[in-house]
Amino acid sequence: MNPILQALWMGILSLLQIIFHPLFWLVLYIISTQYKRQVKAELKILGMEKGSLIDKIINATLYGFLGGLVGSILMILIGVSIRQEGLIYLWPIAIILFLIKSRYLCFSYAGGIISVFSLIFGFPKIDVSGLMALVAVLHLVESFLIYTNGDYNSLPIIIDKGNGKHIGGYSLQRFWPIPIVIMTIIFQNQVNTETLIQMPDWWPIIKPTGVNDLDGITFIMISIVAALGYGDVVFTQLPKAKARESALKLGGYSLILLALSIVSSRVSFLQWGAALFAPIGHELLILHGRKKEEYGIPILTLPEKGIRVLEVLEGSASEKIGINRGDIIYSINNIPINNSEDIKGVLNQYFTFVWVEGETYQGERYTKELKVYPYGLRTLGIIVLPQYSDISYVMEERDGILTRLWEKYIKK
């Protein structure tokens, strides 16, 4: 068998074993707490759950394993190796940062901090290039997951602009447990030589720091667990478009960091560039995205006539006939619709044949029809942007437990 394919097969087998590791279940528990908060927000805003908590956790886990498989293949092909010391400190630092602010549960911050400390003080003694390559690959995986799964169960929100006008938007919150295969270095006499795979001469692409001669060096595969999260609020486009735009930008960041990691494994002073770019570049991406939403033109505003659709409920009549988020509905069965009460008034007649006239948020007019024999249609199954609302939702970044304790007991 081709040595690369043989290594990939061994990596897949190693990946599957992670489900028996306690750390995997700890990460899954941390992620489940985030989805519990999401369910509470859905109940508050929608009055119902958009899928159960179990469904959310299963969806995140399945996509997490898919992303972990993609990441593991990249790690093995590139030949990313990490010293044990780097892994020992990575998760504790990430958890401390999570306790300060929830979105800091990201290896770009924890890895950057550890790498800078190592470069300045020589402690902990880690392979900066390898650790930064791990961060880069994880973010490539994250960009893949955001592109394919980032808009899943996005939540409609209403924002009061302060002048009596409301705009609609969406909160995107996703968290995934990512099992991934990495390699660490041991001496050849510590393993059974019968199980060794002789890799090609070009491998590994990232040379381990401090190792000039790979003769007598053996790489072993181990599985670790990471947690990836994506959080965003969007007003200037629909969730799927926003998720894909964010994914492409994050993918670009990841490729730059990976290139820096590869070059820094051969030019040592560039390790500073990789270590600083990881957290700073990631933070700039977030700030740029927020600025765009803050100053951009919202698409879900109150129309001059008709109603604006914020959400289409799963399994509803609106979903069946193809009404989408952002659409404007002008009339039902030729009866003008300008608020939620108008919809109730029309549907109280239990029409068995319904046609809806409206347009997409892009301005394309349509007429959609639905036959509902024999009982008639009772509800469209939509949530609309209200003309007036006593309640609006401010999506603020959540502080971690340590920050809240500081604000409550120490800062005073």
User: Does the bond joining 279 to the residue before it have cis omega, within 30 degrees of 0?
Assistant: no
Contact (Cβ atoms closer than 8 angstroms) between residue 38 and residue 57: no
Which of 167, 175, 140, 172 is closest to 154 using CA atoms? 172
Going along 258-380, which residue ranges are E strands?
Answer: 307-312, 328-332, 335-336, 353-359, 365-371
In terms of C-beta density within 10 A (0-12 exposed, 13-18 middle, 19 or more buried), how is residue 165 classed? exposed
Q: What HEC string does 186-212 produce?
A: EEHHHCCHHHCCCCCCCCCCCCCCCCC
Phi-psi region of 47 (alpha: psi -120 to 50; beta: other; left: phi over 0): left
Question: What is the pLDDT, as a whole number, of residue 163?
Answer: 62
Q: Rounded distance, CA 349 to CA 375, Å?
A: 11
Q: Rounded distance, CA 211 to CA 226, Å?
A: 27
Q: What are phi and psi of 134, to 5 degrees?
A: -60, -45
Q: Rounded distance, CA 397 to CA 395, Å?
A: 7
* Residue 13, SS3 per DSSP: helix
Angle at 12 between CA 11 and CA 15, to 5 degrees: 85
In sequence order, the 6+-apart residues with CB closer than 8 A to the CB of 77 are 4, 8, 205
Alpha-carbon separation of residue 87 from 84, 221, 244 (angstroms):
5, 14, 31
Summary count for the chain: helices (H), strands (E): 11, 9
- Domains observed in the chain: 3-295 (no CATH), 307-384 (2.30.42.10)
Q: Rounded distance, CA 183 to CA 72, Å?
A: 10
* Residue 257, SS3 per DSSP: helix
pTM: 0.85
Question: What is the pLDDT, as a whole number, of residue 43?
Answer: 86
Count CA within 13 A, CB hemisphere, residue 380.
31
Contact (Cβ atoms closer than 8 angstroms) between residue 167 and residue 235: yes
Residue-by-residue pLDDT tens, the chain, 412 positions: 587 888 888 888 888 888 888 889 998 998 999 899 899 888 887 778 888 899 999 999 999 999 999 999 998 888 888 777 677 888 889 889 888 887 787 889 999 999 999 999 988 888 899 899 999 999 999 999 999 999 999 999 888 766 666 788 999 999 999 999 888 766 555 555 555 777 777 778 887 766 666 666 777 888 888 888 888 889 999 999 999 999 999 999 999 999 999 999 888 899 999 999 999 999 999 999 989 988 889 999 889 899 999 999 888 999 999 999 999 999 999 999 998 889 888 888 888 899 999 999 899 999 999 998 888 888 898 988 886 655 455 545 566 666 666 666 666 5
Task: Quote the distance between the C-alpha of residue 377 and its chain's center.
Answer: 37
Tokens 């590869």 correspond to what residue?
262
Which of 214, 247, 14 is closest to 140 using CA atoms? 247
Q: Rounded distance, CA 217 to CA 17, Å?
A: 25
Question: What is the pLDDT, as a whole number, of residue 194?
Answer: 52
